[in-house]
Structure 1
Amino acid sequence: MPFSLPIDAEANALLDRDPLAVLVGLTLDQQITMEKAFTSPWVLAQRLGHEPTATELADFDPDALIAIFAEPPALHRFPKAMAVRVQEVCRVLVDQYDGDAAALWRGVPTGAELYKRIFALPGFGKQKAQIFVALLGKQYNVQPEGWREAAGAYGEVDAFKSVADIVDDESLAKVRANKKAAKAEARAAKGA
């Protein structure tokens, strides 16, 4: 199934063909909209003049990469921190997966192992790792045994809890409604 977030068609096409773009998008998916996070890999490629490799980003001059992330409109609300984070993730890809983002999940035997590999990435806590497992399972057909369990609630059919379930404007609206309800519930629990 082609990646089909309600974003620019060229950004979706990049997410479709480039596993690194998906990983960068998910790395950036915090404290900004999903649309911004998953469009930013395409904007980064435009600014570089080509689609970068993990090796290129891992070896990039850190200050120059920060400047590219910070160029208006910034690729993230916190361009310095996220440029550093993307570079850290790419260094792990180079050190452990020969610079191949898809090697992170290619041939993984179980959902638990997939979760473990993703959780080990810089900046990937439990929730983000579960979302990525769900995204890979639901949108990229990466479905090792136990992947839904490893993804937790994000792996459920029609969960509408994360980017893993977004395929059009309607599913985006459902995810947004669920996130809004979860935040309201959390606020109510704090007040109780």
Structure 2
Amino acid sequence: MDVTLHLAQDPRADALLGRSPLAALVGMLLDQQVPTERAFKGPRTVADRLGADDLDAHDIAAQDPEDFAALLSEKPAVHRYPGSMAQRVQQLCRYLVEHYDGDAELVWKGVDDSRELLRRLEDLPGFGRQRAQIFLALFGRRLGVQPAGRSEAADVYGEPDSVRPVPGLTGPASPAEVRAHQRGRRTAAKALRPARRG
């Protein structure tokens, strides 16, 4: 895996995401309740604080939980909730060690059916259906992982030219475009709500 992504909007962080399947999974896990760019910059920050060039599932799984939480909490914190996210990142890495010998790429490598890939992604700690669909769409569009039925399994996130979160991040201007799209959808949804009677 060696592709160009623009999720973190930071060259070093995006380079890690483009070559490290584990970094991509960790970034996706962190992408909640913080701006997308901050979430996907997280894997690079974690690697730097561990003194490594890449993330290693075995190493992260074996970290003392308190020490690892402290590492994510160092200023600037990796996430708005660094303690709970440190726990989730370690749970993800332990799962990958137990089920995939620590090799995140084995989650999708050789899988030729999107329903099976979606199931595998949903089984990852901290993922669930929506996060799995977003990640499946990201892989189909950016990384060339396109098993049969990918668009259908990814649902609305697999639509061509989607500007929904994460899969739509294609270049330096994209985060602003994605946020504008989200604001437009929220405004449209509010306009459809019945007016309250006072």
Q: Same fold (TM over 0.5)?
A: yes
Partner of 1:154, secondary structure, is: helix
CA distance in 2, matches of 1:175, 1:163: 8
Whether the aligned pair in 2 keeps the contact of 1:40 and 1:75 (CA below 8 Å) is: yes
Q: Which residue of the other structure, out of 18, 30, 33, is the alignment partner of 2:32?
A: 30
Gaps of 5+ in 2: none
Corresponding residue number in structure 2 for 1:9: 11
Corresponding residue number in structure 1 for 2:166: 163
TM-score (norm 2): 0.91
Whether the aligned pair in 1 keeps the contact of 2:57 and 2:93 (CA below 8 Å) is: yes
Whether the aligned pair in 1 keeps the contact of 2:161 and 2:168 (CA below 8 Å) is: yes
Residue deviations 1:86-117 (CA, integer Å, cap 9, x gap):
11111111111110001011111211111111
Q: Which residue of the other structure, out of 113, 116, 124, is the alignment partner of 2:116?
A: 113
Runs of 4+ in 1 over 4 A off after TM superposition: 185-192
Q: Which residue of the other structure, out of 82, 97, 106, is the alignment partner of 1:94?
A: 97
Q: Which residue of the other structure, out of 49, 52, 55, is the alignment partner of 1:52?
A: 55
How big is the shift at 1:191?
Answer: 6.2
How big is the shift at 1:127?
Answer: 1.3
How big is the shift at 1:24?
Answer: 0.5
CA distance in 2, matches of 1:147, 1:33: 26
CA distance in 1, matches of 2:57, 2:194: 44
What is the Cα-based RMSD across aligned positions, in Å?
1.6
Within 5 Å, which residues of 2 pair with 1:135-150? 135-150=138-153
TM-score (norm 1): 0.94
Task: Find out whether 1:72 has 2:102 as its counterpart.
Answer: no
- Name the one with the larger helix percent: 1
Over the matched positions of the two proteins, sequence identity in percent amounts to 46
Whether the aligned pair in 2 keeps the contact of 1:119 and 1:129 (CA below 8 Å) is: yes
Whether the aligned pair in 2 keeps the contact of 1:88 and 1:122 (CA below 8 Å) is: yes
Residue deviations 1:114-135 (CA, integer Å, cap 9, x gap):
1111111112122111100001
Whether the aligned pair in 2 keeps the contact of 1:6 and 1:169 (CA below 8 Å) is: no
CA distance in 1, matches of 2:138, 2:156: 12
Q: Which entry has the higher C-alpha Rg, 1 or 2?
A: 2
Q: What residue identity is the alignment partner of 1:34?
A: T
Partner of 1:31, secondary structure, is: coil
Q: What residue identity is the alignment partner of 2:148?
A: E
CA distance in 2, matches of 1:23, 1:3: 13
Aligned residues: 192
Gaps of 5+ in 1: none
